[in-house]
Amino acid sequence: MKTGFRKARLNINTIQYVGLALVILAIAFGFQAAFGNVMTTANLRVMAMNMVFEGIMALGMTFVIIMGGIDLSVASVFAFGEILVAKLMVQAGLPVPVAVVLTLITCAGIGALNGVMIVMLRVHPLIITLGTLLTLRGINLAITDGKSISGFSEGFLWLGQGRIFGVDFPIIFFSVTALILGLLLAHHRYFRQLYFIGGSERAARFSGVNVSRVKISIYVLSSTLAGCAGIMAAAKYGAAHWGHGNASELKAIASVAIGGADIMGGSGTIFGTVLGVIFLAVVHNAFVTSAVNTFWYDVVNGVMLLLAVLISRFIARQNTQKLKALRQSKLDQSQHYQTSKGGKP
């Protein structure tokens, strides 16, 4: 009997998100009940600011991973963005907007270079972006002599320390960017192509998708977002230093994977990544709140990452089996049709 409306089907990804959200809530409320001081305004603000820069990098990383790539260079681009904007303002004396724009253009250029090398040389993005990570780290050290740069104007510091309606500007930047990119990824044709490329790059290419152009543009997006995060971090800390953001590429990748994206490409959402970012922030905060040795923080993150990868691989296998079953049933139907018409199967 038809009821007149579609039966609600719980998507397996939705279940994964609900599970992750429940875990986050359980940790937050559990530690609030046990230790207090978790749900205070001050702690929630600190918790958000603790992961906001990695979160911004994770947004770009989501696009890269859906496309089947990886971008290890974001941590170095992050520090490079800090240092370049600081040098342009403090040493070259450029006004804040000019320094910021030039820095973002340079970071975008680094992303373009990553993309072009990946496309032209046909080398795995892991190797190319690892090379960029190491090269830029060396450059960051060399151009600063290992020292930090400080002495920024109040106008620049607002980018990291300013608040709008009581909310820190970097958190607003992260939220608005996540919303815009999430909508684009879900609805815009250009970004929907990423799922196609991540599922099968060859098939996408044969279908007329300009894979090279899409790839380069996504690495540009990833580096630009890392540059944005670096600029805001310099403003937040009032200093640019080569050591800032060390290993943040791993946190960004972990956020995306914990958020349910398939690390092999073809699946993932901005919403899932945001959940992954919140999970890492809440777990780290829980360790500080409970005064448990933070060495265990990496253990929990690692286990959660493995769990997330296992679940996403399980989902991918389920989808493959469904696809095979569907294909088989189509074949069976076709054979049945031909048999019933008296033809040879």
Partner 1 sequence: MMKLGTRLAAVTVAVSTLLGSASYAQDTQEHYGMVVFLKGSEFFNWSYAGFQDAAATVGATTELQGPADWDASAEARAVDQLVAKGVKGIAVTAGDADTLAGSINAAMAAGVPTLTFDSDSPNSDRLLFVGTNNYNAGFAAGKAIGEEHGDEARVGVSLIPGLDSITSRLEGFKAGLASVAPGAQIVATVNDEGDLQKAETVNTAMLQANPEINVIFCAHGNPATGALSATRNVGRMEGANKISVLAWSLDVPILQGIEDGEYGATVAQNPYMMGVMSFWMLWSAAHPTQFDSLTSPGMGQVPTADLDTGVKILRQGDPAVQALMSPPKI
Judged by the rule CB under 8 A, the positions of this chain that interact with partner 1 are 10, 12, 15-16, 18-20, 22-23, 25-27, 29-31, 33-37, 40, 42-43, 45-46, 49-50, 145, 147-150, 161, 233, 236-239, 241, 243-247, 285, 288-295, 311
Tokens in use for 320?
């493959």
Closest CB 41 distance from partner 1, rounded Å: 9
Q: 119 or 228, CB closer to partner 1? A: 228
Helix, strand, coil % in the chain, rounded to nearest 5: 75, 0, 20
Closest CB 96 distance from partner 1, rounded Å: 18
Show the 3-state SS of 62-81: HHHHHCCCCCCCHHHHHHHH
Partners of 168 in the beta sheet? 163
Closest CB 315 distance from partner 1, rounded Å: 9
Q: 137 or 215, CB closer to partner 1? A: 137
Quickly list DSSP for 91-145: IS---HHHHHHHHHHHHHHHHHHHHHHHHHH---HHHHHHHHHHHHHHHHHHHHT
Q: How far apart are CA 310 and CA 317, in angstroms?
A: 10
Closest CB 114 distance from partner 1, rounded Å: 23
Q: How far is CA 31 from CA 19, 46, 275, in A?
A: 18, 16, 18
Closest CB 65 distance from partner 1, rounded Å: 22
Q: Residue 83: which residues within 8 A CB-CB, separation 6 or more?
A: 140, 143, 144, 149, 240, 241, 242
247 sits in the region (left: phi over 0; alpha: psi -120 to 50; else beta) called: left
Closest CB 124 distance from partner 1, rounded Å: 26
Tokens in use for 87?
């040098």
Q: 30 or 95, CB closer to partner 1? A: 30
Q: How far apart are CA 173 and CA 154, in angstroms?
A: 19
Q: 215 or 244, CB closer to partner 1? A: 244
Q: 206 or 295, CB closer to partner 1? A: 295
Q: 22 or 92, CB closer to partner 1? A: 22
Closest CB 221 distance from partner 1, rounded Å: 24
Tokens in use for 287?
């360790």
Q: 18 or 183, CB closer to partner 1? A: 18
